[in-house]
Structure 1
Amino acid sequence: MMTFIPKLVQNLLEILEDNEYYDVIIEVGNDPYVKIFRAHMVILYYRSPYLQRTLSTNKRRDDIILTHIKLPNISPETFQIILRYIYAGNLSLIEYDTLNIIKILVAASELGLQELITNIQSFLIKNKVSWIKQNFNLVYQTCFENDSFSELQNFCTDLITRKPENVFRSIDFNSISEKCLISLIQRDNIQIDDIKVWEHVLKWGIAQNPELPSDLSNYSKDDINILSNTLQRCIPFIKFYNLTSEEFLNKVHPFKLILRGSRDGFSSHKFHKICDGIFNTVSIIRVQGSNEILGGYNPTIWNSIEGYNTTKDSFIFSFKDMYNINNYVLSRVADEKKAIFGSIDFGPTFGSDLTIFGERYYGLSHCDSRFYEKRIRETSYYFSVWEYEIFQIIKN
């Protein structure tokens, strides 16, 4: 069989450059960076599933000569590369820097070019490992925002598991989104000490607020509140219960352990003696006879006077198994006027959704579903407290 592929490719590219027989106008980019491309419906229709759907939806009427398409999410420079691939069926990735290759990958996904998606992922994993490690945030966010990038997703997941320090030390780690950060730290199989995870999360939180001092010892009360608000969604995923007292003393800032049941006693009176009047506390409770962890964040004060405290910023959480932190529940306030409950007879209590109660907290604590968005335990049965700790977010 005789083949004439090179000549065919040449002719197709000549068609692309033709300024006379085109029948599609493509407006690419956003103002002020918009460029008009001319193309041919029959080629676009059979080469790109996305453009096929677009052309089918906007079928040309007999009285209209040209069909118009807008692609605002793709840059003109990237689309020019993609368009040549659509016509010629080839693309030399070594001609482009890695950041541009990522842009080509994202554009290929939008246009449904699966062949290109597969090959670009393989090229990056084979040839650009060092760049991926240095720019992990960009790659991680890109691949997990798109289900088409399964090869890159698997590569990133493996990298997180085996060499998490490379991820946390990447040059753009501090710009990672909160959602991506939580997806990183909630993994239970990453090979890194829990205290290291906390240190990196703390650095990330400070980086989100460039107006804050870099030295925690110089923090004002307002600075502490800003940082604690930034980190509030991350806190439930930090395994504080795995840290030693020395690690808390030397490394955990600006959180300070103010009460530990096994050290200070399991009683509501002791709780109020130590914790009343203190703002910004995190309670962590381990359920007796299980690996279950419960807890909550209270930005207001604890007090012994019976009644509710109002706040919209508290939340409660649970881990069904402390060794499998993917199985968690995070619940925010639904009725802010009843977010926190105080009484001399109760330990740390969040509405009636997480209630710590009873002599030595034995057998009478429970979780209901009333004042927070969702239930954090599957059952309303009473439980006993095996250990509990209260941390204050303070100036260190």
Structure 2
Amino acid sequence: MVENKFLSNLSQNLLEILDDEEYYDITIEVGNDPYNKNNNDGSLVHIKLSTISPEIFHILLGYIYGGKLSLEECDASDIIKILIAANELNLQELISHLESFLIENKKYWMEENFDLIYQTSFKNDSFLGLQKYCTDLISNEPIKLFNSLNFFLIPEKLLVTIIQNENLQMSEIQIWERVIEWGLAQNSGLPSNPTNFSKDDFNTLKNTLQQCIPFIKFYNITSREFLKKVLPYKKILPKLLYKDLLIYFLENDGEPVKEPVPIIIKETYLKDIDSKIITFQQAELITKWIDKITNELTASYEFKLLYRDSRDWTNGLFSRFKKFHEICRNQSHTVVIIKVKGSNEILGGYNPIEWKTDSSYGITKNSFIFSFSNDGIEDYILSHVKNEKKAIFNSSFHDIGPSFGDGDLYLYQNYPNKTGELRIRCKKNSYERQIKEIGESCFSEVEVFQIV
């Protein structure tokens, strides 16, 4: 179709009036130069549209006056400019037509310039057609974005979304290499070879990729790939993660641990958190870990405080965790947060099923435990359950608190100590990784949140 006519929605054909340079009562200033004409009677309405170029506005005038718009000869980039201008002038019918034309006729250009399409479409709620196009492409064909010429121009937020996508048909080491290339492109002054990096260079790249690295499945690569492709960038990895990877590849002959866990792509937003232990950034990271194992589509999360030891325990109660069992029994989708006494270390776990008080093991494949070495998000250990039949330990005794696995994260009250000293024991059994050095420690605070 060379032309599209919208005369049914316009009162009449006014093209003759548009061509008449003698009679007018409105001037419209577009771009840097005014769209000026001489006025006969001195009564003018002046409208200024500085964001629309004269060339684009001339095309729109043809639509406004005559309901005609020819797009076949227009460059795709000009059609985007027409779309933005149509939105500024609130020409809703034209917006829908332009979106459809782009999607149907400029598909290849759209894929190659996805960064522009993505940023344009989500700047305004009027571009629903383009928003759906972007969402569908990210979800169904993310590899096209990874291989596009303008891949390095996509924003960080979009990159994180893409590398989480289960439909991304690339090996994990290919994803890692592409992410490194993206990070280098954001910092043009960095050397291309990491052997030439200074300490500041590594820190720059580390800061650039800090939101991406948690979603790289390093355990799905081989030891040879780790040695050649990851090890040269070891200084941008969280220290504990690098240490665990080194141990893993030395112990497991370098075979990938398992297939990637299916992921639901969604936008998550953490509303707030009332915690004396973890930061907002740590809570956000925990929600991302939950995203990777859940099938629930949730637009936002709230950490609802159920239990806090310093708030709910009183000296009159000898059994320290009696209140925990009363408050959290039959509650599901909970996150336990523990502050280790005398250090900056934080431990915790996610339990998607209900807490019970029947001396049983809760069965789930979706729980995990974790630790942070401080109040940042760089140095952490994330450990998923491997023996789902012993994922959660439900004690019937009030001197045992929320616990995970067969001693993987075990909270209890020290019997000989009548003051109610609280202890932690961590020993890898039911979960993939050890989250704390073997031995016993004391903790100073425990919080339990329900994710709603």
- Name the TM tier (shorter chain): 0.5 to 0.7
Query: Cα gap change, 1:316/1:248 in structure 2, threshold over 3 Å: closer, same or farther?
Result: farther
Work out whether 1:317 is the aligned partner of 2:341.
no
How far residue 174 of structure 1 moved from its aligned partner, in angstroms, is 0.9
Query: Cα gap change, 1:389/1:235 in structure 2, threshold over 3 Å: closer, same or farther?
Result: farther
- For 2:160 and 2:221, the matched residues in 1 are separated by 19
Contact 2:427 2:434 (C-alpha < 8 Å) held by counterparts: no
Counterpart in 2 of 1:379? none
TM-score by length of 1: 0.60
Counterpart in 2 of 1:100? 78
Partner AA of 2:204 in structure 1: I
Counterpart in 1 of 2:14? 12
SS at match of 2:68: coil
The Cα offsets for residues 110-139 of structure 1, whole Å up to 9 and x where unpaired, read as: 222122111112212222112122222222
Query: What fraction of aligned residue pairs are identical, expressed as a percent?
Result: 47
- For 2:99 and 2:225, the matched residues in 1 are separated by 41
The Cα offsets for residues 63-101 of structure 1, whole Å up to 9 and x where unpaired, read as: 982222222222222122112211111111012111111
Q: How does 1:1-396 map to 2 (within 5 A)?
A: 12-29=14-31, 33-36=32-35, 65-252=43-230, 254-255=233-234, 257-260=241-244, 263=247, 317-318=285-286, 319-324=289-294, 342=343, 348-351=372-375, 362-364=409-411, 386-388=431-433
SS at match of 2:189: coil
- For 1:320 and 1:363, the matched residues in 2 are separated by 21
* Aligned-CA RMSD value: 4.6
How far residue 223 of structure 1 moved from its aligned partner, in angstroms, is 0.7
How far residue 198 of structure 1 moved from its aligned partner, in angstroms, is 2.6
SS at match of 2:14: helix
- For 1:247 and 1:39, the matched residues in 2 are separated by 72
Query: Cα gap change, 1:223/1:96 in structure 2, threshold over 3 Å: closer, same or farther?
Result: same
Query: Cα gap change, 1:87/1:199 in structure 2, threshold over 3 Å: closer, same or farther?
Result: same
Partner AA of 2:80 in structure 1: I
- For 1:217 and 1:224, the matched residues in 2 are separated by 10
TM-score by length of 2: 0.53
- For 2:72 and 2:410, the matched residues in 1 are separated by 66
- For 1:38 and 1:236, the matched residues in 2 are separated by 60
Partner AA of 1:126 in structure 2: E
SS at match of 2:202: helix
Partner AA of 1:139 in structure 2: I
Structure 2 spans left out of the alignment, 5+ residues: 1-6, 249-262, 264-280, 304-341, 348-370, 382-402, 413-424, 436-452
- For 2:170 and 2:139, the matched residues in 1 are separated by 9
- For 2:193 and 2:222, the matched residues in 1 are separated by 23
SS at match of 2:81: helix
How far residue 204 of structure 1 moved from its aligned partner, in angstroms, is 1.1
- For 1:39 and 1:175, the matched residues in 2 are separated by 45
Contact 2:60 2:82 (C-alpha < 8 Å) held by counterparts: yes
Contact 1:216 1:254 (C-alpha < 8 Å) held by counterparts: yes
- For 2:195 and 2:376, the matched residues in 1 are separated by 37
SS at match of 1:95: coil
Query: Cα gap change, 1:349/1:219 in structure 2, threshold over 3 Å: closer, same or farther?
Result: same
Partner AA of 1:88 in structure 2: G
Specify the structure having the higher radius of gyration (Cα).
2
- For 1:39 and 1:241, the matched residues in 2 are separated by 73
How far residue 205 of structure 1 moved from its aligned partner, in angstroms, is 1.0
Q: What is the aligned residue count?
A: 290
Query: Cα gap change, 1:202/1:383 in structure 2, threshold over 3 Å: closer, same or farther?
Result: same
Query: Cα gap change, 1:172/1:85 in structure 2, threshold over 3 Å: closer, same or farther?
Result: same
Counterpart in 2 of 1:277? none
Structure showing greater relative contact order (alpha-carbon pairs closer than 8 Å, 6 or more residues apart): 1
How far residue 19 of structure 1 moved from its aligned partner, in angstroms, is 3.0
